[in-house]
Chain A
Amino acid sequence: MAGSRASSRAKGAARGPEPSASSEQCLTYLRQMKLIRHFEDKAGEAYSLGKVGGFCHLYIGQEAVAVGSMAALRSDDYITASYRDHGHALARGLTARSVMAELFGKATGCSHGKGGSMHLFDASLGFLGGHGIVGGHIPLTAGMAFAAKYRKTDQVAVCFFGEAAVNIGSFHETLNMAALWKLPAVFIVENNGYGMGTALARASSKLDLAHRAYSYEMTEEVVDGQDVFTVRSAVDRAVERARLESLPTLLEMRTYRYVGHSMSDAAHGTYRTKEEVEEFRQRDPIKLLEAHMVAAKMIDEAGLKALDEQVVAEVEDAVTFAEESPDPAPEALWTDVLAGGQ
C-alpha cells in the first residue's frame, strides 16, 4: 500500500534524461528550493502571529516546479501565477525582503503593501502578478504572448495555475485561442491533487489533465513535478517551442502540497489522511536533489549545513526588514486607482 499513490502519480509522468546539470546549477536549484521552503515556514509562523493578514497559501512541497521552470526562462519573459505565488516570485528573483514585506503589508513590499500575499508583482522582472481569481490570469498570459508576437519580439509568456483551474471556462477559451493563433505561451498546471478540499477525481471527469490539450491541437506533457531536472527539461522544450516556433504548450506538473490549502486549513484530517501526506513527503523535491548532489559528490554534509544557514539568515533578514519597514503612507489609499493618481 504505502508508496502506491505517490509512485503511481509520478508514473506516467515523463522522467527526464539523467540530469546533466552542472554542480553550480544544482547548487542554485537547491539554494532556491531551500529558500522557498524556509521562507514559507516563516511566512506561516508570521501568519500565526498575526503579522501577515488575509489569505496566505503556502507552496511547501511544490518548490521544484517554480525553481525548475524559472531556470528555463529569459529575463525579458513574462510570468504570471495564481494566489499561491510566493515560490514563483522568489524563484524569479524577487528578493525575500520584498516578498516578506509585501506579506506584512509594508510600503517596501514588492506591490507596496497594496497587493499582499496573493498579488505579488515586480514589473521589472516581468513578474506580472499573483492573481486571486481561479483561472483569471490564464487569458492574461495569452495576452502577453499575443503582445510578444504582435511586436515580433521572441519573448515567451508563462502561466502557473492549479489543477482545479482546468475546469473553468477561461482555461478552455484561452487554450483554444492560444493554439489557434499560435501564441508563444507555456501553460503550467501544478497538479497538487486538490483544489482546496476537493480531490481531482471529485472535480474532473478526466484525470490526465495534460490530455485536455488534445482538444486544442496543442502539445502537452506530463511531468514529474518533484524532480527539478525533469521540470527544467520539460519547460526548456516548451519554451523553445514557444520562442522558436511560436507555439503554445500545456505542461501538467504532478506535485503535492504538504500543508493545508491556506493557513486556515489543516494539513490533513478531513479530505486527506496523514498517511497520504507522509507518503508524498517521501518524494520530497529537496531531498531528491540533495541525494543526487551528495551521490555525485557535488556537496557534502558540511556544504548542506552551510546552505541551510545561508537561507535561514536570508529569511531572518527578510522578516526583520519587513517588521521594521513602514506601513504605506495614509495617502497611498488614494493612489494607483487610475493612471493620473485618482
Chain B
Amino acid sequence: MPLLTYRDALNEAMREEMARDDRVFLMGEEVAEYDGAYKVSRGLLKEFGPLRVVDTPIAELGFAGIGVGAAMVGLRPIIEFMTWNFALLAIDQIVNSAAKMRYMSGGQVGCPIVFRGPGGSALQLAAQHSQSFESWYAHIPGLKVLTPGTPADAKGLLKSAIRDDDPVVFIEGEMLYNVKGEVPEGEHLVPIGKADVKRAGSDVTLVCYSKTVTVALKAADQLAAEGINAEVVDLRTIRPMDTETVLNSVGRTHRCVVVEEGWSFAGVGAQVVDVIQQYAFDELDAPVLRVTGADVQMPYNKQLERAAKADPAKVIAAVKRVLYLA
C-alpha cells in the first residue's frame, strides 16, 4: 500500500471525486491559485480549471451560503474553510440553511454539501486559532460530522462525504496534515457512521477520534509495556455515532476512557458517556472517565499550551484510575 500524508490523502479524495462527478466543485479562500492555505487542494486548479476550483473573497458566511444554494439545486459543493475557527462566521448557513432545508421543505429540497477544513488544537496559535467545534455541529439534526484520524480514513471518509446526499461537516486534524500512513489504492471508501477498532485489547476501552487517535495509540503502547491491554476505538464519525462498536468494546473491557481535544462541558465525550451509562450500565466496573482539553481559552505559551491539551500521560493516568491502580 502506498504511504501518503493525510494532506495528500485528502487531495486524492477530492481529485478522484471531481474526476468522477462533474457536479463536484471546490470553493474557498486560497484554494485555487495559492494551492490551498494548507496545500490540501494542491494542483486541483491546474487539473480542473477555475470554474470548479474557485477562490473566494474572505466572506465565510457568503460563500458557505452560495455553496448551500448550489447544493439545493443539485451541485455537490465542497466548501473549504481555511480553518473551522473562521467557520463561526458561517455557522448560520450550516445550521439554519444546510441542516434545515430537507426537513422544512417537507423532503423536497436536499443539500448534498461538504464543509471541510482543519480544526482542533494547533501549535502555539493561542485562543482564536486553536479550538475544537465538533460537538457544536454534532448537536444538530440534519448534519453529519466526520473527524478522520489517519490518512486512510481521511481519504475514504472524504470520498464518502462527497457522495453523501446530506450536508457533512468534515473536520480535519490541523496537526495531522503531515502524518503519513498507508492508504489503500483504488476505490477506497470508508462508510460514514462506522467506528474502527484501531487496536484490540481487553482491559480498558479508549474512545477517541481525529488527533486523539494518535494520543490514545501512544498511551496504549506505553500501557502495554506495563501489562495493560487497551482497546482503541476510533469513532471516525461523530454523528451518526457508531454506538454499537463502543458498546461491544465496553462489554468486553468493562472500563472506558474517552479522549477528546475539545472542552469537557457538553463535549462529544459526554455523549459517549451517556450512551454507555444507558446501555452498558451493568457492564461497567468503574465510572467512565474523560480526558479533554483544559476548560480554558488556549494559551500561547508552549508549556501552558501543553498543559491544556490531552496527551498520553493524561490518558495513562485516567486508565490507571478506572483500573483502580492509582
A residues in contact (CB < 8 Å) with B = 78, 109-115, 119, 121-123, 128-129, 131-133, 136-148, 150-151, 157, 169-170, 173-174, 176-177, 180-181, 335-340
Contacts and interface: CB of A to CB of B under 8 A. Distances in A.
A181 B109 CA distance: 25
B106 A174 contact: no
A147 B73 contact: yes
A114 to B, nearest CB: 5
Contacts of A176: 57, 59, 62
Contact of B61 (A110, A129, A157, A170): A170
Contacts, number: 146
Contacts of B73: 78, 128, 143-144, 147-148
7 contacts: A111-B104, A123-B105, A142-B66, A142-B69, A173-B57, A173-B61, A339-B166
Contacts of B110: 339
Contacts of B77: 143
B235 interface: no
List of 10 A-B pairs having minimum Cβ-Cβ separation, nearest first: A143-B69, A139-B65, A173-B62, A112-B106, A339-B165, A140-B69, A173-B59, A121-B105, A143-B66, A336-B107
B141 A140 contact: no
Given A111-B105, A115-B105, A339-B102, 18 more contacts: A112-B107, A113-B106, A121-B105, A133-B92, A133-B97, A139-B65, A139-B68, A140-B65, A140-B66, A140-B68, A140-B97, A143-B73, A147-B73, A148-B73, A170-B61, A170-B62, A181-B54, A336-B106
B323 interface: no
Contacts of B75: 146-147, 150-151
Chain A CB within 10 Å — which of B51, B62, B72, B107 has the most?
B62
Chain A CB within 10 Å — which of B67, B97, B106, B165 has the most?
B106
Q: Is the interface of A mostly helix, strand, loop or mixed?
A: mixed
B71 A143 contact: yes
B105 A146 contact: no
B246 interface: no
A128 B109 contact: yes
A150 B142 CA distance: 26
A16 to B, nearest CB: 30
A143 B68 contact: yes
Given A128-B72, A147-B75, A142 B105 contact: no
A144 B57 contact: no
A326 B72 CA distance: 28
